[in-house]
């Protein structure tokens, strides 16, 4: 899923209706604290598919190409091709400009797949129907400009299969049908709930607008009074972070949040179609299913919208794994893990030795016993272009952040007492030893490790 945060029923957000992902979680393991390596589509997805950190493959932007640095990298798809599996993709797995590159291969890695399919539904072909804020109107020919970073929505009376994500599910089912008598690896990449938030009207109807709330902006922004300047910068810092910076009204923000939730439920329905296809064909009992999103997403919390922050809400992503060999009964793993851990986990689940080039760790032990000894922190990073870098470590209790090796500030949040990360403790003298210890633990993963 693209830009899907953890606002799902199975993650405790009961307002959001995700019956199929909830059911999948009840069949296997839900990772309550799974973190991306970088809260940006391109680097996060390249890291997952190569099993290596953004630093190792030098993927930091949407257009970064890991093959320039690691031309012989064996991606997850290549690994299974080498084992004799059918390996195919439909939709977005590596980065695509969304919606601008729907219907193309985008920034895909051709060697990963034997087959690639790029459907394009009305969310792409009828972008002029999108309502964009501020001041946008349906039918405006300028609506297509930069829709990939916009406050915009559309709720057509339409069938699921008229949309790109409905087409993705249909093609994935066809790929399963063609290859059901041999080992297969089918990657179904859904574009929702990435903006513009477009889904059939029936999914909007699940969320009456009066039920949608937005944090009070003045109160929300108080959370950011004690953070370094780079913490809330986004690119040049001129466009965001505050969603009212472009004169978006509270009502318009509520409409966008409604549309975001509708898009989540739309994708959930497509996941349900895939699950039913496996069940109808007698394949559920021998198929590993991994449902994941590339990063989290802000919806007005702290006065922020979108991603690219080192806060919990931007870095935490849904991750659910179910299938043969995984303990049934809805295991919930609350220890911090990384999306980087998916590749070695999948390899481990098919009974293979984990290759040395992978930088993550198999999650099998945690799926067998969520309280098993783990000890590995989650490391994430954010680029501020010429202004430098932020790196963050998340363990069971703490989130620690450094901006340019601490030269441009530090952050420390105690998740035992402050799960919403409202109070930065980094400058409090009584936490100086904690800061020192976490900084030392994180340094080997940073770009300033050799300084």
Instruction: Select from 425, 445, 446 the least CA-distant residue to 435.
Output: 425
Q: Please report which helix (H) or strand (E) contains residue 187, including its range.
A: strand 184-189
**Cis amide prior to 114 (ω within 30 degrees):** no
CB 55, CB 445: distance < 8 Å: yes
Catalytic hit among 41, 59, 195, 256: 41
Measured between its terminal Cα atoms, the distance across the chain in Å is 37
CB 247, CB 206: distance < 8 Å: no
Cα radius of gyration rounded to whole Å, the chain = 21
Q: Is 336 helix (H, G, I), strand (E, B) or coil?
A: coil
- What DSSP assignment string belongs to 106-141? TT--GGG-SEEE----HHHHTGGG-EEETT--TT-G
State how far the Cα of 270 lies from the Cα of 259, in Å rounded to an integer. 17
Catalytic hit among 10, 36, 59, 95: 95
Q: Is 95 a catalytic residue?
A: yes
Q: Is 41 a catalytic residue?
A: yes
State how far the Cα of 402 lies from the Cα of 433, in Å rounded to an integer. 15
Contacts 24+ apart (CB under 8 A), 143-151: 147/99, 147/100, 147/195, 147/196, 148/97, 148/98, 148/99, 148/100, 148/194, 148/195, 149/195, 149/306, 150/195, 150/196, 151/195, 151/243, 151/246, 151/248, 151/252, 151/253, 151/256, 151/305
Instruction: Select from 414, 412, 383, 430 the least CA-distant residue to 228.
Output: 412
Q: Which residues contact 125 (CB under 8 A, 6 or more apart)?
A: none
- Report, as residue numbers or ranges, the catalytic residues: 41, 95
């Amino acid at each position: 899923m693209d830009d899907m945060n953890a606002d799902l029923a199975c993650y405790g957000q009961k307002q959001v209706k995700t019956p199929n992902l909830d059911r999948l979680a009840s069949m296997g393991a839900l990772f309550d604290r799974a973190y991306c390596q970088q809260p940006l589509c391109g680097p996060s997805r390249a890291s997952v598919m190569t099993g290596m950190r953004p630093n190792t493959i030098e993927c930091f932007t949407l257009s970064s190409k890991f093959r320039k640095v690691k031309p012989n990298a064996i991606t997850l798809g290549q690994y299974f091709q080498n084992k004799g599996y059918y390996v195919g993709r439909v939709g977005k797995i590596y980065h695509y400009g969304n919606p601008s590159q729907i219907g193309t291969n985008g920034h895909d890695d051709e060697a990963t797949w034997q087959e690639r399919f790029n459907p394009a539904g009305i969310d792409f072909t009828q972008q002029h129907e999108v309502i964009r804020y501020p001041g946008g109107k349906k039918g405006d020919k300028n609506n297509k400009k930069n829709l990939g970073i916009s406050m915009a929505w559309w709720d057509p009376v339409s069938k699921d299969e008229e949309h790109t994500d409905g087409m993705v599910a249909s093609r994935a089912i066809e790929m399963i049908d063609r290859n059901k008598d041999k080992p297969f690896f089918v990657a179904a990449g859904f574009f929702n709930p990435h903006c513009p938030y477009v889904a059939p009207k029936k999914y909007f109807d699940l969320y009456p607008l009066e039920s949608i709330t937005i944090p009070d902006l003045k109160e929300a922004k108080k959370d950011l009074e004690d953070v370094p300047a780079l913490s809330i910068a986004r690119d040049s810092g001129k466009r965001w972070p505050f969603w009212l910076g472009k004169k978006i009204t509270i009502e318009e923000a509520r409409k966008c949040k409604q549309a975001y939730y509708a898009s989540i439920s739309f994708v959930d329905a497509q996941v349900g179609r895939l699950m039913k296809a496996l069940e109808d064909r007698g394949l559920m009992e021998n198929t590993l299913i991994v449902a994941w999103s590339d990063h989290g997403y802000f919806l007005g919390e702290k006065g922020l919208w979108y991603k690219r922050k080192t806060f919990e809400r931007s870095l935490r992503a849904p991750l659910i794994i179910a299938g043969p060999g995984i303990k049934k009964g809805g295991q919930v793993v609350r220890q911090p893990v990384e999306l980087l851990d998916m590749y070695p986990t999948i390899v481990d689940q098919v009974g293979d030795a984990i290759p040395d080039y992978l930088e993550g760790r198999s999650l099998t032990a945690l799926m067998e016993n969520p309280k098993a000894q783990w000890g590995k922190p989650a490391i994430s990073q954010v680029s501020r272009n010429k202004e430098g870098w932020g790196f963050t470590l998340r363990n069971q209790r703490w989130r620690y952040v450094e901006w340019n090796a601490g030269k441009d500030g530090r952050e420390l949040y105690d998740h035992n007492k402050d799960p919403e990360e409202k109070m930065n403790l980094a400058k409090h003298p009584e936490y100086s030893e904690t800061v020192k210890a976490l900084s030392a633990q994180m340094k080997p993963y940073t770009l300033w490790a050799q300084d």
